[in-house]
A = this chain, B = another copy of it.
């Protein structure tokens, strides 16, 4: 575990100059640390003419905690390689990687500062016309092309080996699937929600279904996931979308990525009911969110089905009946994993601004309670809902 941290601004600037290829020789460069994440160091290096790059560096511990919480630096190699995999199929939807430096544990990449963090955009009720199509295409293209449907049997297994990611997977295994279902010290629970949390910890049928979903997360190496596809990993503007931060990438169940997107849209949906504004404003934005859920799924499923039909390499998996059954299974997983995302963002360690920005604790508890109840119902009924329209009716009626 080498400490390869940049000693000063001059080192960061020199590194960016040497490895990005975007700055004219002799340009005067500045640097700022912009890390608003918790885990890594992130720098922006810029020149007078507005050109800029991002440097993301992973040390052998978690940034906001320090050496007390060690974390493998291999995560930055995984992030760099995952970005390259994603760029092979969706070059417009990920930041460009200029350089990965193993010795420095650092990636030099495109600055996407013109895009806004999707979570903040949703809280501000922005309507992003391209979002559903872009995220649906991102999920379909990255997941299909890293699955056994498309990859050669040897290549798939080689990639599975390259993306074994135990440290980051363990975070998800614990924070998604363990902590919220017991009285864990890492949990962060609104005191007004305590009774509901205690009831949930006794809910054996729910815990059975969560065990099944956790086991699939542990064992089901379907495709190379982004692994952390919540609203904070998406940057968007009217013209485009960028998906960042795939350091949790590993081969897992496709529905986990798709469900993360869906769960985050529904977290915002539940939060909107308690955020400022008129009822008409809230309702109209909630309608837009549900249209976005449908548009996202329909783009994903339509594109995935097309890819299956056109590009599935293995004739024993290229059957019309199997394509239908496959997408039905993915929808069930998606609804289930969306439910686990919703519950863990309410009871677990890491909350979301969509709910935390509701200032009145009583109103926040109302939104959280709805999230909990909807998340539970989605987990329990994930195999029966059957279509995205049925899911939307289910959400509206809940």
Q: Which A residues lie at the B interface, using CB under 8 A?
A: 148, 153-154, 156-158, 160-161, 164-167, 169-170, 173, 177-178, 181-182, 204-205, 207-208, 210-212, 214-215, 218-222, 314-317, 319, 321-322, 325-326
Contacts and interface: CB of A to CB of B under 8 A. Distances in A.
A315 B178 contact: yes
A63 B154 CA distance: 22
B166 A205 contact: no
Given A212-B325, A214-B316, A220-B220, 18 more contacts: A148-B218, A153-B173, A153-B218, A154-B170, A157-B164, A157-B165, A157-B166, A158-B164, A160-B160, A160-B164, A182-B315, A207-B321, A207-B322, A208-B319, A211-B316, A214-B317, A215-B326, A221-B221
A278 to B, nearest CB: 43
Given A211-B316, A321-B204, A219 B218 contact: no
Contacts of A319: 204, 207-208, 211
Contacts of A325: 208, 212
A347 to B, nearest CB: 14
Nearest to A317: B211
Given A218-B148, A221-B221, A322 B154 contact: no
A305 to B, nearest CB: 15
A208 B322 contact: yes
Contacts of A221: 219-221
Contact of A169 (B153, B173, B321): B153
A54 to B, nearest CB: 29
SS class, residues of chain A in contact with chain B: helix
Contacts of A315: 178, 182
A275 to B, nearest CB: 33
Nearest to A324: B208
Contact of A153 (B158, B166, B181): B166
A339 B177 CA distance: 34
A24 to B, nearest CB: 44
A169 to B, nearest CB: 7
A169 B165 CA distance: 23
8 closest A-B pairs by beta carbon, nearest first, are A208-B321, A148-B218, A211-B322, A154-B166, A157-B166, A178-B316, A157-B164, A153-B170
A204 B323 CA distance: 12
A208 B326 CA distance: 10
Contacts of A210: 316
Contacts of A161: 161, 164
A177 B148 CA distance: 14
A144 to B, nearest CB: 14
5 contacts: A153-B218, A158-B166, A182-B316, A204-B319, A208-B319
Contacts of A169: 153, 157
A179 B317 CA distance: 13
Nearest to A254: B219
A332 to B, nearest CB: 14
Contacts of A153: 166, 169-170, 173, 218
